[in-house]
Amino acid sequence: MSYPSGTLRYVTGLSLQAQKDEFEAAGIEPRVEDYWAGRLDDWLAAVLPPGAAEWWGFEHDEVERVFLPDETTVQEWTYRQRRGVQSWSFPTVELMDEYIASIRQRSHAEVIALLRLFLFNESCFGRDSEYLHQGIYGLGPDGLDVLKEILPMEYHQRLWGWFDGYAQPHPSIRWVLDLLPHSPQRAIDVILGYAEAYQGIRPYGRTLGLQQAASVIEARWVSGTPEGAEALAALHWRDLERLTAALYRSLGYHVVLTPASKDRGIDVIATRTLRGQREVVLIQVKQRPRVMAKEIQALRGVVARDVANRGVLGTSGRFTRGRKRESGDIVELVDGRNLVEMLNASFGPGWITQFEAVCAGIS
């Protein structure tokens, strides 16, 4: 494969097999996939050695700035330390499961550093150079126009910017780390949307890394925690209503907190208009360990009487077994665990200590 003079320095993207071939030709053992079976700590030490670029900017007891030879950048040193190591995703599903199972014991710095690996910076990959070569040589004199018809518009623009030396085909996605820890669900949504885009163009391993980054964020900042359950249980019943109103406000609803008395059994009225359709949700919140069937049935009656779209019955505790069958399609049941996860997704775990800021304007 040949390119016009001055272009080759930009064509650096390699497929997994091409990387393996290159490492082996250089006498480097390619340490990918099942090479790391059952060795999570060894893999972490290899992809995140002390002093690696991904650690910088965070405090960590085990991280020291390394002494670099003259004219050697931190990035170059880091790359040499990781030569042959799979660093774009977890090598196996088992290692990912093991990491997520222990994520509560992992330092914030380590989790962020790992995400920086999976959420790549502005990059090029092997398929990009193939498209470039096809457009220049493989599709005849109209090759550039043919590519324009079959490739996504923005990607096509960046591809030729790459050829001219002022852009990369794949923009950086690392900026989503700025949404953590306060808006983890937004970060997840952005990452999964980015993973879906260009997945036939981007190497599968890079798409897998994006998907696994979303799983790591969910496990670290969204999944229910004992601290969240305890914080819910300790709230005054009126504060729990305020917090629920703030939650639905964050989901795009206009919310009204009803008076503390004479509320007809409804604590929050949430409304929004989407595509010309107005949705009315009547929300009842119970600060108690267990919610009984008669309360579910009562809410169903109020929703039907007021001709609302649906009702939500939330609690800091749980529903007795089998009560979900009694709710029907008209009432959604949200127990304490689900409520904690919804709060974490919208506000991050910080809602536990930042209650007044989260509920600002709701009284």
Name the least confident of 92-101, 244-253, 299-308. 299-308
Could you tell me the residue ranges of all domains in the chain?
31-125+170-221, 226-358
Category of 49 on φ-ψ map: left (φ > 0), alpha (ψ -120 to 50) or beta: beta
> How many CA atoms within 13 Å lie on the side-chain side of 190?
16
- The model's confidence at residue 6, banded by pLDDT at 50, 70 and 90, is very low
Q: Please state the rounded mean pLDDT for residues 295-321.
A: 90
Contact 243, 235 (CB under 8 A): yes
User: How many CB atoms sit inside 10 A of residue 353's CB?
Assistant: 11
Q: Is the pLDDT of residue 5 over 90?
A: no
Q: What is the pLDDT of residue 249?
A: 96
20-74 pLDDT, tens digit each? 777 777 778 888 888 998 899 999 999 999 888 898 765 555 555 666 777 778 8
Q: Is the pLDDT of residue 177 over 60?
A: yes
CATH class of 226-358: alpha beta
90-142 pLDDT, tens digit each? 999 999 999 999 999 999 999 999 999 999 999 988 788 888 877 776 666 66
pTM attached to this predicted model: 0.85
Q: Is the pLDDT of residue 331 over 70?
A: yes
Contact 281, 270 (CB under 8 A): yes
Determine the angle formed by the axes of helices 108-118 and 204-217, rounding to 10 degrees: 150
Q: Provide the H-helix boundaries in 166-203.
A: 184-196
Long-range contacts of 174-179, Cβ-Cβ distance < 8 Å, separation of 24 or more:
174/116, 174/119, 174/120, 174/121, 176/119, 177/112, 177/115, 177/116, 177/119
